[in-house]
A and B are shown apart, each in its own frame.
Chain A
């Protein structure tokens, strides 16, 4: 999973429109996949650092908690209904969003498109 997130980190750096969309987004996001935690340190639209957890000290803004199988389905080129969107994962109870959800919604397109960078066939 860490390797996958690193691939997405590199893809983000090669996606100028996404960096521009995230230019006001500098926050820490917790991505929890099963029991594994990854603290994503975003800095002005770039993913500056990936900090593997667990951590009791890292102050995250919002968290996306899901499982590896759901993420695999989300990253399919044409996902099945419910697996096609982050809020879809929440609706079918394969993910949960915690923390400052308004911070997520304000940057929703940026974060959704960042997460979709893991999708097979995504042009980056």
Chain B
């Protein structure tokens, strides 16, 4: 029997004029590190790192479910809406959570679409953060599939989404964690994965903003798994090359969901990334 150190609570904030009840989890003490999940999933992707005393000893890991994901309900009136995430709403959500939780220049660690928004925030709101860990993150990729597949009345979008993203999981990942990673996609709300992919595969606004990122003020470290078909090492390298001062690590045996699919393999890379980030007080100095 065991009880994990992760605790979960709810934060209610106003985002773009709408009330959102957001679920967040945290573990550890010290410098705040805000962790962002991928498209079509939720904070459970960070469960292993949040249970890792070697990481939470000096870092307060906080992860939240984006509205429509996990334990964050969609907003009132969702039943007549088409969920389509936008860069503007995504940024407003992250900033509202930071403000709502009173976080002082956290490190932002995001994976996939979370990595994409991390780089957007690095370009547009770098002063609000101590650094950026952009995992499986790139400037832009158009879809190599039809995102409308994932929200149809005649098929199970979750099952299809999970089967598709399994292409991005490394064969080195432990079997149990491969399936735990896929479960979140299987269980996500109808149309949510599609709505996230709309943001990820159609908004190329980051490309023109990469040059605005000041890595002297806030470091940017990009990490990419060799088995990631969506954001390939080449995509990540191209993105790092466009950000003066950005660093990059290629993780040979990992895929697109490294913290979830293969926590042991990811751990040393994440510790290295944390070491590259500045403490908040250093930024203020």
Residues on A close to B: CB < 8 A?
77-79, 81-82, 84-88, 91, 102, 105-106, 108-109, 112
Contact = CB atoms under 8 A, between A and B. Distances in A.
A106 B164 CA distance: 10
B226 A85 contact: no
23 contacts: A78-B171, A81-B227, A84-B167, A84-B170, A84-B171, A84-B227, A85-B166, A85-B167, A86-B167, A87-B144, A88-B167, A91-B144, A91-B229, A102-B149, A102-B155, A105-B145, A105-B163, A105-B164, A106-B160, A108-B160, A108-B163, A109-B159, A112-B163
A79 B45 CA distance: 24
Contacts of A105: 145, 149, 155, 160, 163-164
Nearest to B230: A91
A81 B160 CA distance: 22
B203 to A, nearest CB: 22
B170 A109 contact: no
> Which residue, of B159, B163, B164, B170, has the highest number of chain A Cβ atoms within 10 A?
B163
Contact of B229 (A77, A88, A108): A88
Contact of B167 (A78, A87, A106): A87
Nearest to B226: A81
Interface string B127-167: 00000000000000000110001000001000110111011
Contacts of A86: 167
**Pairs A-B, 10 closest by C-beta atoms:** A108-B163, A85-B167, A109-B163, A87-B167, A78-B171, A81-B226, A106-B155, A81-B227, A84-B171, A105-B149
A91 B168 CA distance: 12
Contacts of B163: 105, 108-109, 112
A83 B112 CA distance: 22
Contacts of B226: 81
Nearest to B164: A108
B164 A78 contact: no
A3 B171 CA distance: 25
Contact of B164 (A82, A84, A87, A102): A87
Contacts of B172: 78
A41 to B, nearest CB: 22
A78 B167 CA distance: 13
Contacts of A78: 171-172
Contacts of B229: 82, 85, 87-88, 91
A108 B227 CA distance: 19
A116 B102 CA distance: 49
A88 B170 CA distance: 11
Interface string B180-204: 0000000000000000000000000
A86 B164 CA distance: 10
A112 B171 contact: no
Given A88-B167, A102-B149, A109-B166, 7 more contacts: A78-B171, A81-B227, A82-B229, A84-B171, A85-B166, A85-B167, A86-B167
Contacts of A81: 226-227
A84 B255 CA distance: 11
Interface in B220-236: 226-227, 229
